[in-house]
Amino acid sequence: MLQLRDKKIADEILARIKKLNLQLKIMHVCGTHQDTIVRYGLDSLLKNCGIEVIQGPGCPVCVTTTLEIQKAITLAKNGVTVATFGDMIKVPAAGTSLQKARAEGGDVRVVYSIDDAVKMAEKGEVVFIGVGFETTAPSTAVTLLNEPENFYVLSCHRYIPPALDALLGMGEIKLDGIICPGHVSTIIGMEPYKPLSSRYKIPQVIAGFEPLDILMAVYMIARQIDEGRHEVENEYVRVVRSEGNKKAQEALKEVFNPADAEWRGFPVIKKSKMALKKEFEEYDAEKRYENLLENIEMAEEAKGCRCGEVLRGLIYPQQCPLFGKICNPSNPVGPCMVSIEGACNIEYRYKE
Amino acid sequence: MCLAVPGKVIERRGNKAIIDYGGVRREADISLVDVKEGDYVIVHAGFAIQVLSKEDAEETLKIFEEMLKNA
Ligand code: SF4
């Protein structure tokens, strides 16, 4: 893999991009892409070639709404064991967080895999906070298909293509190309992106996570534009098959139904959330704890936090007045500073 | 969270397998993939989500070189 950081090839790709002499704004929707971009300074290298790259709504924890987090906190505060991935516990909502609920005696556990949560459920009821896109959601689907006991899911899983559609449709930001997330695409394949490329006449390239993967994807987008094409291409051929992972797609289809839902920073996005199907209702935390969860109203976002605009690609983290001053990873004001996939967190880690 | 790392399948045990990540071994669920021992897989949140094709890094570099040649 080290070869995918080869400086000579990187320089050659950059020279090709520069030669095309284009001014482009390209969005990706993946925290791991952003990590590679900022860690290796690709953002400034590309800027010198006329290419601006910005992270959109590609951080599952960040796009989870305040209301969803409030629900998780409410469960924890009412004596329910809540299991979740690490980043979630620090996200502030309504002046508190899962971490604070834990400090106040709530049973909040951090897990690395849904399997850990299922094992916990042998000792009593557990609610797993299901966060993540198509990459993560199949593990939730498979788990429920195995009929676990004492186990409930608060599904915050979401589909990426509807968010891209919403973003392009809103027209707030003018984008010339999209770098599609490698591991979401590992599951969904190339097909779901195609209607977007035709509808919005925009090139999309699926990319891996090494520096050369990103540079190559940018070059492939630039070349499409230079040649007047707008197609879906795959740079990450060593992992992504054009049909995706059929088994995972089937598991998703069996367990979830697409439902309309808000994303942080976005109005309701049609068919963008994975809601548990009726057949899986018995695992639905929203049903199991309906009495606790049904009347919660979404709290105000933290004052001054501009995560919404960061997630829509309208501003860079540094353009938020709180960035690095009041807001930093040990005192995060918004989720984009909490999550290691959040644009603010990544920017702070490598540049401050 | 979308971090997914490649590892080698050492031993299968039903729906699970022992995966070796350059010396560190952990169990992963393999019900989403068809794998045999010796295959390389991409693992995300404890689940193998794809088998790495033989087109490894070297193959990718070859593709890059081709593309750069034809440009
Ligand atoms: S820097 Fe902090 S307050 Fe500003 S947008 Fe990012 S997370 Fe929100």
Among B2, B57, B67, the residue with its CB nearest the CB of A181 is B2
Q: Is the pLDDT of residue B28 over 50?
A: yes
Mean pLDDT of A192-197: 98
Q: Rounded to an integer, what distance in angstroms lies between the CA atom of residue A127 and that of residue A286?
A: 10
List beta partners, residue A352. Answer: none
Residue of B nearest to A35 (CA): B3
Q: Is A346 in the pocket of ligand 1 (CB under 6 A)?
A: no
Is A93 inside any structural domain? Answer: yes
Place of tokens 């920073």: A265
pLDDT at residue number A8 = 87
Mean pLDDT of B30-58: 87
Instruction: Locate A232 and state its tokens.
Output: 């879906």
Residue A59 Cα to ligand 1 midpoint, Å, equals 14
Is A201 inside any structural domain? Answer: no
Is A264 inside any structural domain? Answer: yes
The pTM (predicted TM-score) of the whole model is: 0.94
Q: Is the pLDDT of residue B21 over 90?
A: no
- Strand ranges of the sheet holding A177-181, from the earlier edge strand across to the other edge: A51-55, A24-28, A177-181, A204-207, A232-234
Is A52 inside any structural domain? Answer: no
Cβ atoms A220, A206 nearer than 8 A: no
Is A187 inside any structural domain? Answer: no
Mutate: best of A180, A223, A238, A240, partner B, most B CBs <10 A: A238
Is A43 inside any structural domain? Answer: no
Q: Rounded to an integer, what distance in angstroms lies between the CA atom of residue A84 and that of residue B71?
A: 47
Q: Rounded to an integer, what distance in angstroms lies between the CA atom of residue A268 and that of residue A257?
A: 16
Is A4 inside any structural domain? Answer: no
User: Could you read off the pLDDT of A43-62 as tens digits, one per residue?
Assistant: 999 999 999 999 999 999 99
Pocket test for ligand 1, best of A312, A328, A337 (most atoms within 8 A of CB): A337
How many residues can be counted in chain A? 352
User: Could you read off the pLDDT of A81-97 as tens digits, one per residue?
Assistant: 999 998 999 999 999 99
Structural domain total, chain A: 1
The residue ranges of DSSP E strands in chain A, in sequence order, are 24-28, 51-55, 81-84, 108-110, 126-132, 151-157, 177-181, 204-207, 232-234, 256-263, 266-276
Q: Rounded to an integer, what distance in angstroms lies between the CA atom of residue A290 and that of residue A282?
A: 12
Residues of A in contact with B45 (CB under 8 A): 85, 112-114, 132, 135-136, 139
CB spacing of A139 vs B46 below 8 angstroms: yes
Q: Is A59 in the pocket of ligand 1 (CB under 6 A)?
A: no
Minimal CA separation from A124 to chain B, in Å: 22
- Mean pLDDT (chain A) is 96
Q: How confident is the model at residue B56 (pLDDT cuts 50, 70, 90)?
A: low
pLDDT at residue number B69 = 72
Residues of B in contact with A246 (CB under 8 A): none
The 10 Å CB-count burial string (b at 16+, else e) for A96-124 is bbbbbbbeeebbbbebebbbebbebbeee
User: Could you read off the pLDDT of A130-189 as tens digits, one per residue?
Assistant: 999 999 999 999 999 999 999 999 999 999 999 999 999 999 999 999 999 999 999 999
Q: Which domain holds residue A263?
A: 61-158+248-293
Minimal CA separation from A295 to chain B, in Å: 30
**Nearest ligand 1 atom, CA A306:** 5
Q: Is the pLDDT of residue B61 over 80?
A: no
Q: Is the pLDDT of residue B57 over 70?
A: no
CB spacing of A132 vs B2 below 8 angstroms: yes
Q: Is A336 in the pocket of ligand 1 (CB under 6 A)?
A: yes
Q: Is A317 in the pocket of ligand 1 (CB under 6 A)?
A: yes
Minimal CA separation from A257 to chain B, in Å: 19
Residue A278 makes CB contacts below 8 A (sequence gap 6+) with none
Residues of A in contact with B67 (CB under 8 A): 216, 219-220
Chain A interface includes B49 (CB < 8 A): yes
Mutate: best of B15, B32, B55, B61, partner A, most A CBs <10 A: B32
Mutate: best of A12, A19, A239, A338, partner B, most B CBs <10 A: A239
CB spacing of A30 vs B44 below 8 angstroms: no
Question: Which is nearest to A248 in space by CA: B26, B14, B45, B6?
Answer: B45
Show which of residues 16-45 on chain B sit within 8 Å of chain A, judged by CB atoms: 29, 31-33, 42, 44-45
Quick one: what percent of chain A has pLDDT higher than 90?
95
CATH code, A279? 3.40.50.11740
* Strands B47-51 vs B40-44: parallel, antiparallel or unpaired: antiparallel
Residues of A in contact with B71 (CB under 8 A): 16, 223
Q: Which residue has the higher pLDDT, B63 or A221?
A: A221
User: Could you read off the pLDDT of A111-147 as tens digits, one per residue?
Assistant: 999 999 999 999 999 999 999 999 999 999 999 999 9
Is A18 inside any structural domain? Answer: no
Instruction: Locate A55 and state its tokens.
Output: 């992270």
